Structure 1
Amino acid sequence: MIQRIQTLYLLVALAISGGLIFVFDLYTDVNQSVIFAKDNYLYLGLFLGSALLSLISIFSYKNRQTQFVLGRLNIILNFILLGVFVYQSLNLSGEATVSEKGIGMILPIFSIVFLVLANKAIKKDEDLVKSVDRLR
């Protein structure tokens, strides 16, 4: 249902996780070569997993509880991805691989923001349906 605001939030999260990873670079290594998410299978898998969870959540609009749980799982997945980026950029062995950070490393933060907004709207819809059921 495209008219619901949480669907729009989920579409933006899907576009960030599934589309913008091919546009923005993650980092530049010591050899001055630009690294994208498609160059590392771990990053690509986590980003595409997040996009897949957003897509499944969009099409499960009839079951708001499932949609809410999928949104929370997606938020956890994006926090894991953000943790991997932080670990990669702050590696204790010095500047082993990451020379300059790109804007692609903050894409999970934007995705988390839109997923939280979507979950807030899903919760609001669920509360509205429960309040209407009480009146019957």
Structure 2
Amino acid sequence: MLQRIQTVYLLIAAIVSLGLIFVFALWQTEEGSAVYALDQLTVFIMFIASGLLSLISIFMFKNRKLQFVLGRINIILNFFLLGVFVYWSLSLPGEMNISEKGIGMFLPIISIVFLVLANKAIKKDEDLVKSVDRLR
């Protein structure tokens, strides 16, 4: 059902992945211009994929196992995105023009937190249904 707490968590994760990437810059270059996710195609595609997975997962409420698996895949995608940001921020000076990191680099962490909370709630629902089935 759509009125579960995991729907709220998944919706927040989708808003973080789809909406906040246009608001917060990933980093600033040495010239002072802000770089957003739209400027980096791979990062933009990964953010969009993460947000779409969250939205798809919301409507998979009848199949909790698939919803749980989609949440795990989304968490792995966000960890990969976070790894790309860490690699770019720790690269040698001169390879990337990153002078100051922005809040946008931490958006995958926020998304991961809400996805973990959603998966925990999905697992709790699945355990509740299994316990009720044992009573029948």
* Residues 64-99 of structure 1 deviation map (CA, whole Å, 9 limit, x = unaligned): 0000000000000000000000001110x2253110
- Name the counterpart of 1:36: 36
Report deviation, 1:32. Answer: 1.3
Unaligned runs of 5+ in 2: none
- Name the counterpart of 1:55: 55
Amino acid at match of 2:50: S
- Name the counterpart of 1:94: 93
Report deviation, 1:2. Answer: 2.8
- Name the counterpart of 1:105: 105
Amino acid at match of 1:94: P
Greater mean alpha carbon deviation, residues 48-57 or residues 94-103: 94-103
Unaligned runs of 5+ in 1: none
* Partner SS for 2:2: coil
Amino acid at match of 2:93: G
Amino acid at match of 1:18: L
1:133 aligned onto 2:117: no
Amino acid at match of 1:71: G
* Residues 21-50 of structure 1 deviation map (CA, whole Å, 9 limit, x = unaligned): 000000001121100001110110000000
Runs (4+) off by over 4 Å? none
The two structures have a TM-score, normalised by structure 1, of: 0.97
Amino acid at match of 1:103: I
The two structures have a TM-score, normalised by structure 2, of: 0.97
RMSD: 0.8
Aligned residues: 135
* Partner SS for 1:60: coil
Amino acid at match of 2:58: I
- The separation in 2 between residues aligned to 1:13 and 1:66, in whole angstroms, is 18
- The separation in 1 between residues aligned to 2:53 and 2:30, in whole angstroms, is 34
